[in-house]
Amino acid sequence: MGLWRDIKGTLQPFWVTLGYLFKKPATIQYPEEKRTPPPRYRARIVLTRDPDGNERCVACHLCSAACPVDCISMQAAETEDGRRYAAWFRINFTRCIFCGFCAEACPTMAIQMTPDYEICDRDPLNLLHEKQDLLIDGCGKDEEYNFYRHSGIGVVNPRGGNADETPPVDPKALVP
């Protein structure tokens, strides 16, 4: 029976591969056909706006701190009423690994991942996305969340400038 098994085991695979020869290939012909990635697919990173149309980012640096490859950098600034924003914001997509930690770290839902995966470029400098490249007109995944409506804009006066506070001191300062 061993011989019969061997003969069967040699010939049957030929039938199987012949069957596969006439099946439709599973390949997606990329530039012509494109797959629709799921909505939570992690690809191009965007900066979203709150429902009022203002930038959500408060330049807290949590995203750049969370980033394992240090591809996010920014400069924090404040408007006159004390609202923080990013003076400039840069994501280096040549380094980004699309892990999504930045979007998870963001307390204001400003930085979000989108399913747009076609961001290749021949020139690495084109992959340095500045704030104007990153900002979109829209709320992204959360239509309602507005950070400052929950937390209030900190203070108009500088910290410690209110009636029952003393100004902050620097205990390590050596200035006489």
Partner 1 sequence: MSDLLLSLALILVKLGLIFGVILGMAAYLVLAERKILGRMQLRHGPNRLGPFGLIQPMADVIKLITKEDFMPDQADKWLFLFAPGLTALTALLSFVVVPFAPPLTIFGRELPMVVCDLNIGLLYFLGISSLGVYGVVIGGWASNSKYSLLGAMRSIGQLLSYELAMGLALIPVVLSAKSFSLTDVVMSQADWPNLLKHPVAFLIFLVSIAAESKRTPFDMPEAENEIVGGFHTEYSGMRFGLFFVGEYINLVIIGSMLTVLFLGGWHGPLLPPIVWFAIKVLFVAFCFIWARGTMPRLRYDQLLHLGWKVLIPLALLNLLVTAAVLLAIG
- The reply on whether position 2 binds partner 1 by CB under 8 A is no
Query: Of 47, 145, 141, which Cα lies nearest the Cα of 88?
Result: 47
* Strands, E assignment, 14-159: 45-47, 72-78, 84-92, 111-113, 128-129
Minimum distance from CB of 10 to partner 1 (Å)? 8
User: What is the secondary structure of 120-164 as a DSSP string?
Assistant: --SSGGGGEE-HHHHB-SS-TT-SS--HHHHH----SSPTT-STT
Which tokens sit at 148? 């400052």
Touching partner 1, residues 31-90 (CB under 8 A): none
> CB under 8 A: which stretch of 9-17, 46-54, 60-68, 116-124 binds partner 1?
9-17
- Please provide the size of the chain in residues: 176
- Out of 1, 21, 125, 173, point to the residue binding partner 1 (CB under 8 A): 21
- The reply on whether position 20 binds partner 1 by CB under 8 A is yes
Total number of residues that touch partner 1 (CB under 8 A) = 15
- Out of 2, 4, 5, 25, point to the residue binding partner 1 (CB under 8 A): 25
- Out of 1, 5, 29, 172, point to the residue binding partner 1 (CB under 8 A): 29
- Report the interface residues with partner 1, using CB under 8 A: 10, 13-14, 16-18, 20-27, 29
